[in-house]
Structure 1
Amino acid sequence: MDSSAPSRSRSRSRRLAPVVAMAAAVALTLAGCSSSSGGKKAEEGGNGAAAGKAGTPRMTVALITHQAPGDTFWDIVRKGAEAAAAKDNVKLVYSRDPNAGNQANLIQNAIDQKVDGIAVTLAKPDALKAVIAKATAARIPVVGLNSGVSDWQRLGLLEFFGQDETVAGEALGDKLNSLGAKNAVCVIQEQGNVGLTQRCDGVQKTFSGSVENLFVNGTDMPSVKSTITAKLKQDASIDHVVTLGAPIAMTAAQSVSETGSKAKIATFDLNKELTGAISEGTIEFAVDQQPYLQGYLAVDSLWLYKNNGNYLGGGEQPVLTGPAFVDKSNVEAVAGFAEKGTR
């Protein structure tokens, strides 16, 4: 991590008490936000029903992520963004592409459309540096979310909302130590994604046992399953499989079941199916970064900046939305929200 990231001691003290700035502003009166499907094309949301609530002029915000097809994590991010858009009289235009070059083109499209603000993920920050500079030159405020806690300042973004992935990985490594784990694999579903790499690097920093990275193709679940299955058959001493996303965790659970492995599964991120699996004991625990909050705060912050000149963190600190652990002891507290698709 570079010097712009929060200090190790400060971040570690916030592991289990993430910053939830502006939580009082989160209105869960979701007005009917319409959206259209269409692959990688821009998709509009946050329209109509709540337009009069903010009492401010209509503005347009582009939310541009590195979402891969079938990754349900981003449905939660988008729901948060749509809730803020409905409250703030914002026309939300959502687009996504896991290819960094294509994501850069989507940002350029938003610049060409003269949007009022851009919220973007920085999974591959160097590929987006030039086009973000163009947005800044065009006087379009840009905020980051989810990926890029070590790079948002370097790229000139106004604010950042997410978790420190290295700190989250370190917390998971400590958790494995407390559980007596000895041999783990960390499954990375997208090579080149800095946030995913930071998670596994963080696990390696604090875990006292052995950990090996295992690369899979996260867009091909049958391939993910066969790769994890082969690894478990090859090494019966593996006692924990660490995954970096809920769909990967559920697939890993199938591999464990079919091989008869005694390995436990720990993961980052939640969805409805995963909370059920934690309740049943299929998944041991998850690290929650509150993606709904990331989407909500990204859009709401751009509205605040345009209408009142506000920005969080003083331009120096990110707003951390995680990490926090969800396991059998507290999963029921979030299960209802997961059923609604907001956790």
Structure 2
Amino acid sequence: MNTPPPPHASARRTRVAALASVLCLLVSGCSFLGAADDGADADTAGRSGGMKVTLVTHGGKGDAFWDLVRRGAEAAAAKDGVDLTYAGDADPAAQADLVRDAVRAKADGIAVTLAKPAAMRGPVAQAKAAGIPVVGLNSGIDAWRPTGLLEYFGQDESVAGRAVGDKLDDLKAEHALCVVHERGNVALEARCAGMRKTFRGDTDNLYVDGSDMNAVTATIASRLRQDSSIDEVVTLGAQYGLSAVKAVRQSGSRAEVATFDLNKDLVKAVRSGEVQFAVDQQPYLQGYLAVDALWLYRTNGNVSGGGTAPVLTGPAFVTKSNVAAVARFAAAGTR
């Protein structure tokens, strides 16, 4: 990158081996990756002197979900001979600065998440003015076209939320707690709102500090103690689902737990029955498709979805009945 990242974003460079990418592709078409080793938030991979792509997410350090996104991006970069830089920051202003860094570094393509769309409008406009194509992934399905992005890869969070609401009805739940770990994140809010539209029972939102896992567990447990009518806790990230399992135990509640997103530990919880189901949006696939799409656009003029429709990567339900089919991929770090 041309300028130093923000204070809480550091840099680390790694080279992705072609063999590793081939293995990833053979294993699956979707997966996660996030925080870099030693707390780094920026990485380069697939360095071959080819086109330069920067992936900028709102993922913070130590988040396994974003590890999956980055692994998918790295696999595509290795396949396509792309020099990939990954950078992430949960602060929207800092994320915007990372996009501006990519513009100054004359990236050939930029992929961004739009958890806070307003913060991205200016940087995306700067990229477009510089002739740099920008695609979106993961967050911002309702904002990618107004923001001026070329393509979008992700899950329709409202649709996913409505599907969860229907699922809860099938499970005879009556009172759900939707745990939001990042206030103002449009994707997370859409999940809870979608669930509320179809679920025939009551739905309450509970806002927690997603950066403090102990606090997440304590806050959920406290709410369960206060309201014994809550019979379902729905979290919006795999690690928070595992925290909810702990909270149920600590509180003595009889509530069931369900969650959005997946990782290898969550797979074990689904297998054991501690978590009823997970909604898989395939983050590995999101990262892979975003990088591959920029390469295809630059080398062949291709635009997925015709530039008007998103490419959907989810939702898919993972339950005790089908979890074995994805368990080995999760163990390999690609689901």
Match of 2:26 in 1: 28
The partner residue of 1:205 within 193, 197, 212 is 197
1:44 and 2:44 aligned: yes
1:91 and 2:89 aligned: no
The partner residue of 2:310 within 313, 318, 325 is 318
Aligned CA distance change for structure 1 residues 200 and 153 (closer, same or farther; 3 Å): same
CA drift at 1:231: 0.3
Match of 2:115 in 1: 123
Instruction: Verify the 8 A CA contact 1:36 1:44 in the aligned structure 2.
Output: no
Instruction: Verify the 8 A CA contact 2:36 2:62 in the aligned structure 1.
Output: no
Match of 1:231 in 2: 223
CA drift at 1:29: 8.3
CA drift at 1:28: 3.4
Give the Cα separation in 1 of the matches to 2:38 and 2:307. Answer: 35
Match of 2:51 in 1: 59
Q: How does 1:96-111 map to 2 (within 5 A)?
A: 96-111=88-103
- What whole-Å deviation, never above 9, does each CA across 1:191-215 have from its counterpart, x for those lacking one? 0100000000000000000010000
- What whole-Å deviation, never above 9, does each CA across 1:57-80 have from its counterpart, x for those lacking one? 711100000002322101111110
Instruction: Verify the 8 A CA contact 2:27 2:334 in the aligned structure 1.
Output: no
1:112 and 2:110 aligned: no
SS of residue in 2 equivalent to 1:28: helix
Give the Cα separation in 2 of the matches to 1:97 and 1:299. Answer: 19
SS of residue in 2 equivalent to 1:310: coil
1:159 and 2:151 aligned: yes
CA drift at 1:43: 1.1
Deviates more, 1:70-79 or 1:301-310: 70-79
Q: TM-score, normalised by structure 1?
A: 0.87
Give the Cα separation in 2 of the matches to 1:286 and 1:42. Answer: 29
Match of 2:210 in 1: 218
SS of residue in 2 equivalent to 1:64: strand
Please provide the CA RMSD for this pair: 1.5
Give the Cα separation in 2 of the matches to 1:312 and 1:211. Answer: 36
Q: TM-score, normalised by structure 2?
A: 0.89
SS of residue in 2 equivalent to 1:153: helix
Instruction: Verify the 8 A CA contact 1:40 1:97 in the aligned structure 2.
Output: no
1:274 and 2:272 aligned: no
Instruction: Verify the 8 A CA contact 2:27 2:329 in the aligned structure 1.
Output: no
SS of residue in 2 equivalent to 1:107: helix
Where structure 1 has 5 or more consecutive residues not aligned to the other structure, the ranges are 1-25, 52-56
CA drift at 1:314: 0.4
- What whole-Å deviation, never above 9, does each CA across 1:129-166 have from its counterpart, x for those lacking one? 01100000000000000001001000110000000000
1:132 and 2:116 aligned: no
Give the Cα separation in 2 of the matches to 1:200 and 1:211. Answer: 8
CA drift at 1:171: 0.3
The partner residue of 1:299 within 277, 282, 291 is 291
Give the Cα separation in 1 of the matches to 2:231 and 2:36. Answer: 43
Give the Cα separation in 2 of the matches to 1:152 and 1:212. Answer: 28
1:149 and 2:141 aligned: yes
Match of 1:254 in 2: 246
SS of residue in 1 equivalent to 2:114: coil
Give the Cα separation in 2 of the matches to 1:182 and 1:37. Answer: 43
- What whole-Å deviation, never above 9, does each CA across 1:54-112 have from its counterpart, x for those lacking one? xxx71110000000232210111111000000000011100000000000000000000
1:285 and 2:277 aligned: yes
CA drift at 1:40: 5.6
